[in-house]
Amino acid sequence: IMCMVAGRKRVRLYEPVMTNYLYPVSHTKNIAITSQLRNLSNVNVRKFPEFKKARALYVTINKGDLFYLPTYWWHEVTSYDRNIAVNWWFRSHSFVLENFVEHWAERVEQSRWGAEEEASQLEMQREYPSR
């Protein structure tokens, strides 16, 4: 959760189903996931052609706004002017984390074809988890 005390920021968001188009890199020691892409406003589409398929959402956060970043959504934050923001990071439910890591590892090994179908199956697993 981000609270803008002063100034403003812009957040570029990508749903987890866009993962294959963002060229993920895993650091398995701490399970942090990053992207090979460093500046999403200037991506070399010859080197990273799948990025053209990624669809972003944009949010401007102004003074007094609270912003919730959904778990596992890819994001890039741009600050405008001087600003002050207070962030509160918290852990998600371990069941969700375990399923995400397991699913993400499988997706990285698979080809990029059928990403939408896999995302739909993941959504079904989240809505109706087996016990």
The predicted model gives 22-37 an average pLDDT of: 72
The predicted model gives 70-75 an average pLDDT of: 85
What tokens appear for 123 in the block? 């959504």
Whether the Cβ atoms of residue 24 and residue 33 lie closer than 8 Å to each other: yes
Kindly report the pTM of this predicted structure.
0.62
Between 27 and 34, the higher pLDDT residue = 34
Q: What is the per-residue pLDDT for 81?
A: 86
Q: Tell me: the pLDDT tens digits for 86-126?
A: 988 776 655 555 666 666 556 555 544 455 566 666 666 66
Average pLDDT for the chain: 79
Angle at the Cα of 34 (from 28 to 38), degrees rounded to 5?
Answer: 150
Q: Tell me: the pLDDT tens digits for 37-67?
A: 888 889 999 999 999 999 999 999 999 999 9
Please tell me the distance from the alpha carbon of residue 88 to that of residue 2, in angstroms, as a whole number.
Answer: 7
Distances (CA, A) of 70 to 15, 53, 83, 86: 9, 21, 22, 17
Between 78 and 120, the higher pLDDT residue = 78
